[in-house]
Chains A and B, each alone.
Chain A
Amino acid sequence: MNIYRSHVLICGGTGCVSSKSDKLQEKFENLLVNKDLDKEIKVVRTGCFGLCEAGPIIIVYPEGSFYSQVKIEDVEEIIDEHLVKGRIVKRLLFKDSIEDDIIKSVEEVEFYKKQKRIALKNCGVIDPEDVDEYIAYDGYMALGKVLTEMTPEEVIETIKDSGLRGRGGGGFSTGLKWGFTAKAQGDQKYVLCNADEGDPGAFMDRSILEGDPHSVIESMAIAGYAIGSNQGYVYIRAEYPIAVDRLQIAIDQAREKGLLGKNIFGTDFEFDMEIRLGAGAFVCGEETALIASIEGERGMPRNKPPYPANKGLWQKPTLINNVETYANIPQIILHGADWFKSMGTEKSSGTKVFALGGKINNTGLIEVPMGTTLREVIYEVGGGIPNGKKFKAVQTGGPSGGCITAKELDTPIDFDSLTAIGSMMGSGGMIIMDEDDCMVDIARYFLDFTVEESCGKCPPCRIGTKRMLEILEKITSGNGEPEDLNRLERLSENIKSSSLCGLGQSASNPVLSTLKHFRDEYEAHVNEKRCPSGLCKDLLSYYIIAEKCKGCTLCIKACPSDAITGERKEVHEIHQDKCIKCGACLDKCPFKAIITK
């Protein structure tokens, strides 16, 4: 084996790959061979480091230097300067990792300091395509411990004691769920992993499968032992190709090592698993729809009970957990329930992964202990709002959740406190909005998503959400009537109480919560035909300020609909009847003479 003096870790998560990290890796490997350094320096492709905003990211060990937004032409400089001469290339370091000329290593960067990584423990640390690296970080030790030292009952008891709750959004006690499925009678039982991540902006499940697929495999085998099942399925959307590939590689490696298959760890226990690809329908994240989809049926939910624990896949007792939930299990087994409970709040133990998106500096993936406040997440880990804008609200829980305003920024994040303030944990997507965002438009956006994703089985969801969307479109296009706000509320309540599954039951949450916190914005749209954030195009008009217009004709040339007239060196005019409100004139005007009202 070669002795390496440096490791170059290149992020191979979807975010960084889309900014060409795969090309960087190729360049590194080629140059190292050319310079005869490939026996001393190892290039490792890892999963996501979490700071997607700063991608593509490269970390060089042993120094732990954190390079961000590395371009292909920077590669040679990193090799010649850092790897040959030991001079860290300061201009490429992530901005927060250099302070007063002192270089901080990756774990000292503010973004990581407040984080506690359990589910993401190995993401960005190991090569996900090398099972040995997973094993080096105690991988499969939990499975070994469970099979050789614990009874299935003890496993379930440990998970129950840990207080772990479903990370997919439901928040139901994982231990109880395991217990129900273990007790259910059946000749065959199944272990499913729900990797049908669909909330707009959420990508933690993808990142875990891309960065640490073995943690899910190990955990599903542990679950199989606990409930008495020998077969697992991971239901994952086909639009996650990197995650699917790496998971398949990991399953193959686990089989090769005898970590899946018969007589695992020399015991009678056998377990194997397969991938099932979904077509990316949001409703298939609902467990009964997911099961239908695996069975080859159309992905539509059914009434509960019976719950999958009793009648699930092919009518057999079935355990179904989310990716992030599974990723916590091996750590709980290894370190004990008390260790897990020592983090988080009383009723929500452990940590939670959040995907930060929208108007925030550090877009990316973070993991913090439950009970961390929204303010800490947004301003400390997330680095605050870009361009000095004012924070307006954060949407949690995706299309099922609601928004949280500045007043509630000091709320500790856990399952119950988010529900108490009218939002929900959901799968952990957080979309941060600033003063430029229109809350009516946000509600319209989420409804648009729900209408698109409604499976159509039950009328309240199929027809009701469509009607709500129509009302919202009416309001944002300037045709709203005062009565519309009451109609929205009434519809919301009806859809909530009569829909078949969670998708419909929660579809109106974004509307209800924006109506509650930002009713004034709705009223401005309806009563004054005005969008306070200036985002709803139909409610905007473009005007030329006569004093500022120099008559340069640039706007006339830019206007695609010939809505602007005027002679050279004379004040121009916008004709509202022809204006299509594209904003081209505003971008072109060198004198800032065009405004919107």
Chain B
Amino acid sequence: MKSLDELKKIREASLDKIDLRNKKDGMRIVVGMATCGISAGARDVLMALLEEIKSRNLRDVTVTQTGCIGICRLEPIFEVYSPGGEKVTYVNMTPEKAKKVISQHIVNNKVISEYTIGAVEE
């Protein structure tokens, strides 16, 4: 170890290793991962979310899973909870759409209305 900066670099690089275990106060994304979701491709959506979060270095976002949300025909589904508790439900997700949700909703706080359950059901 040659300097404090070197240690800080190692720390930055190691944060990814443990980030998942930290308590977070930001947005929470809950992906439906029951049989219906998985068969519709929820695993790929989940992994796309994680990749996008990592590449953008968003430390305050939690991604978890849940069981069947109840509208199996619209799977893959995920729900975005803001810290205040409001919920937005995105349906018929694909990895590409998921990445878009991250960039617009999570980063810029702009809901993509056309992907939400309200828009699709109309």
A contact set with B: CB distance below 8 Å: 1, 3-7, 9, 40, 61-64, 84-87, 107, 125-126, 130, 132-133, 135-141, 144-145, 148, 257-259, 263-266
Chain A: minimal CB distance from B50 (Å):
5
Q: Which residues on A sit within 8 Å (CB–CB) of B21?
A: 7, 9, 61-62, 125
Contact among B20, B33, B35 for A62, CB-based, below 8 A: B20
Q: What 4 A-B pairs come out closest when comparing CB atoms?
A: A86-B65, A136-B14, A258-B1, A132-B14
Contact among B13, B20, B34 for A85, CB-based, below 8 A: B34
Chain A: minimal CB distance from B55 (Å):
9
Chain A: minimal CB distance from B46 (Å):
6
Chain B: minimal CB distance from A572 (Å):
60
Chain B: minimal CB distance from A486 (Å):
59
Task: Decide: A265 near B47, CB < 8 A? Known: A126-B18, A132-B17, A138-B11.
Answer: no
Besides A64-B23, A85-B67, A135-B7, 20 other A-B contacts (C-beta < 8 A): A3-B51, A5-B20, A61-B20, A62-B21, A62-B24, A62-B63, A85-B35, A86-B64, A86-B65, A87-B67, A107-B23, A126-B18, A135-B14, A136-B11, A138-B11, A140-B7, A141-B11, A257-B10, A265-B7, A266-B1
Tell me whether A137 and B18 are in contact (CB under 8 A).
yes
Chain A: minimal CB distance from B119 (Å):
25
List residues 19-53 of chain B with CB under 8 A from any CB of chain A.
20-21, 23-24, 30-35, 38, 46-47, 50-51
Instruction: Judge if B57 is at the interface, Cβ distance under 8 Å.
Output: no
Instruction: Judge if B73 is at the interface, Cβ distance under 8 Å.
Output: no
Chain A: minimal CB distance from B118 (Å):
24
Tell me whether A3 and B47 are in contact (CB under 8 A).
yes
Instruction: Judge if B56 is at the interface, Cβ distance under 8 Å.
Output: no
Q: Which residues on B sit within 8 Å (CB–CB) of A258?
A: 1-2
Q: Which residues on B sit within 8 Å (CB–CB) of A4?
A: 20
Q: Which residues on B sit within 8 Å (CB–CB) of A61?
A: 20-21
Tell me whether B66 and A86 are in contact (CB under 8 A).
yes
Instruction: Judge if B62 is at the interface, Cβ distance under 8 Å.
Output: yes
Q: Which residues on A sit within 8 Å (CB–CB) of B14?
A: 132-133, 135-136
Chain A: minimal CB distance from B109 (Å):
21
Q: Which residues on B sit within 8 Å (CB–CB) of A126?
A: 18
Chain B, residues 57-72, CB within 8 Å of chain A (1/0): the string is 0000011111100000
Distance A75 CA – B37 CA, assembled complex (angstroms): 23
Distance A526 CA – B76 CA, assembled complex (angstroms): 77
Distance A135 CA – B17 CA, assembled complex (angstroms): 11
Tell me whether A84 and B1 are in contact (CB under 8 A).
no
Q: Which residues on B sit within 8 Å (CB–CB) of A107?
A: 23
Q: Which of B38, B50, B64 has the most CB of A within 10 A?
A: B64
Q: Which residues on A sit within 8 Å (CB–CB) of B63?
A: 5, 62
Tell me whether A5 and B50 are in contact (CB under 8 A).
yes
Q: Which residues on A sit within 8 Å (CB–CB) of B20?
A: 4-7, 61-62
Q: Which of A135, A145, A266 has the most CB of B within 10 A?
A: A135
Distance A125 CA – B18 CA, assembled complex (angstroms): 9
Task: Decide: A148 near B4, CB < 8 A? Known: A62-B62, A85-B35.
Answer: yes
Chain A: minimal CB distance from B45 (Å):
11
Distance A40 CA – B21 CA, assembled complex (angstroms): 15
Chain B: minimal CB distance from A567 (Å):
65
Q: Which residues on B sit within 8 Å (CB–CB) of A266?
A: 1-3
Q: Can you give 13 contacting A-B residue pairs, CB < 8 Å?
A: A3-B51, A5-B47, A5-B63, A62-B62, A85-B38, A86-B30, A86-B31, A135-B14, A139-B11, A144-B4, A264-B1, A265-B4, A266-B1
Q: Which residues on A sit within 8 Å (CB–CB) of B2?
A: 258, 263, 265-266
Tell me whether B1 and A259 are in contact (CB under 8 A).
yes
Instruction: Judge if B16 is at the interface, Cβ distance under 8 Å.
Output: yes
Chain A: minimal CB distance from B54 (Å):
5
Chain B: minimal CB distance from A142 (Å):
11
Distance A126 CA – B21 CA, assembled complex (angstroms): 9
Distance A307 CA – B3 CA, assembled complex (angstroms): 36
Contact among A3, A62, A130, A259 for B64, CB-based, below 8 A: A62
Distance A139 CA – B7 CA, assembled complex (angstroms): 9
